[in-house]
């Protein structure tokens, strides 16, 4: 074998060895450096996604909390408006004045309004307000009484007619009157605004 041929073969072997060393070095570099970096990158992307999800959830929670707070303000204002129409002192005077005002425009006449019995609320749900129950007697046309009761409960959402008795004049004696008026007696319940501790002596 001539010297030039042996020289070429030696150069080829050295080139092949260099290529093998380079490939091995690249494999080591990938295993020790590149692969951990990619793994860290994937982990970082996942962490960032989790943080973004938490931020979005926090924003949604803040929006819901703001809406709930605004609703609470509306309800509180509505409660204050309702409480402004409640009795907070002399319940009997309030009842007489309120009922006389509400019957205006209805064919209803009162003959007796009993003194209210004020106790802790006996209706559900339990509230801080007290409850006053009283009877109201009088005479009215059938439609006039129905319109008055509807007006009462629509105007005073804290008032309810618990019981209602109606009969024609003279019915208890068997002497029926052909008058369009009926005698009635109703049991009414209203809530009374609780006393403000600051106003108590």
CATH number at residue 135: 3.30.70.60
**Entry pTM:** 0.57
How far, in Å, CA of 27 to CA of 15, rounded? 18
- Do 126 and 66 have their domain in common? no
Task: Report, as an integer, the average pLDDT of 127-150.
Answer: 90
pLDDT reported for residue 167:
86
pLDDT reported for residue 96:
93
- Do 189 and 153 have their domain in common? yes
Which two tokens mark 41? 């990158």
- With left for phi above 0 and alpha for psi between -120 and 50, is residue 189 left, alpha or beta? beta
pLDDT reported for residue 48:
76
How far, in Å, CA of 86 to CA of 158, rounded? 8
Query: 168 with 182: CB under 8 angstroms?
Result: yes
Handedness of CA 76, 78, 79, 80 (dihedral sign): positive
Residue 16 has pLDDT above 60, yes or no: yes
Handedness of CA 73, 77, 83, 84 (dihedral sign): positive
Domain boundary among 60, 84, 108: 84
């Amino acid at each position: 074998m001539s010297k030039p041929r042996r020289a070429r073969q030696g150069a080829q072997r050295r080139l092949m060895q260099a290529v093998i060393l380079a490939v091995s070095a690249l494999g080591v570099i990938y295993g020790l450096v590149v692969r951990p970096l990619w793994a860290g990158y994937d982990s970082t992307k996942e962490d960032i996604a989790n943080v973004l999800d938490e931020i979005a959830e926090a924003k949604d929670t803040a929006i819901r909390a703001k809406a709930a707070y605004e609703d609470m303000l509306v309800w509180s204002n509505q409660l204050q408006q309702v409480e402004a129409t409640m009795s907070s002192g002399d319940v009997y005077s309030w009842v007489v004045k309120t009922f006389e005002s509400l019957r205006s425009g209805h064919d209803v006449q009162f003959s007796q309004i009993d003194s209210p019995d004020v106790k802790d609320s006996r209706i559900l749900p339990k509230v801080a307000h007290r409850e006053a129950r009283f009877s109201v007697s009088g005479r009215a046309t059938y439609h006039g009484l129905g319109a008055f009761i509807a007006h009462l409960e629509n105007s005073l959402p804290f008032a309810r007619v618990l019981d209602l008795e109606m009969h024609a004049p003279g019915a208890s004696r068997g002497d029926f009157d052909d008058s369009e008026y009926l005698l009635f007696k109703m049991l009414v319940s209203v809530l009374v605004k609780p006393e403000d501790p600051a106003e108590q002596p």
